[in-house]
Amino acid sequence: MTFLFDLGRVLYDFDFAPSLARLLPAGIPDAEERIGKLLERKDEFETGKIDVESYITWALQVLGSDATHEEFCHAWREIFTPNEPMLKIIRQLVKDGHRLIVFSNINGIHYPWIFENFPDLSLFHGAILSHETGFIKPQHEIYQYAIERYNLIPEETPYIDDLPQNIAAGRELGFPCWQYDLKNHAAFEVWLAGILK
């Protein structure tokens, strides 16, 4: 069986704010607003509409930061925490012969870095990454891209994501879906057991 797995808040939890806050000048009054402005343009970045260097230059201006591009990349990447219960399942699914594909809205700072620094991602047999396709979940085009690239039969391809709008799009295209909640991993295990019967 082939599975599609979202990355953020499924395989790895993440939180941008604490890491980006370290780039801000001391005592800046509108820190949350500045970080929020960066994240508002993240979708453009993750569809590849803004290149890495342009995004970083703009982001540092918004933050009022004198950090280097390298320091910004470091902060942008230091946001992930492995979700060990899910990664344990990933290892077992691979051991049992299933094909796993990462299906992620992601940008050119996180990729390929995250695949090089989190060894469990090497277990996956492929990846559909938004910044390479020009589309972003929940746009149907990125799901169609995944279907064509990996010859998927949606009805036979379980899809796991944390965002309701992404799950809704997956269901519209026929994928059996599970909206994952980091705080209720046990519910996912029950669903997965039913899928694997």
Number of domains, the chain = 2
pTM value > 0.85: yes
Q: For 65-120, what is each residue's pLDDT tens digit?
A: 999 999 999 999 999 999 999 999 999 999 999 999 999 999 999 999 999 999 99
Q: How far apart are CA 112 and CA 164, in angstroms?
A: 26
Domain hosting residue 155, numbered range: 2-13+81-195
Tens of pLDDT, residues 73-82: 999 999 999 9
Task: Give the domain CATH number at 107.
Answer: 3.40.50.1000
Same domain (yes/no): 137, 51: no
Examine the domain organization and report whether 117 and 184 are in the same domain.
yes
pLDDT of residue 27: 86
Last residue of a domain, one of 33, 53, 77: 77
Task: Give the residue ranges of the chain where pLDDT is below 50.
Answer: none
Beta bridge partners of 42: none
Give dist(CA 145, CA 169) in Å, integer.
Answer: 13
Same domain, 113 and 165: yes
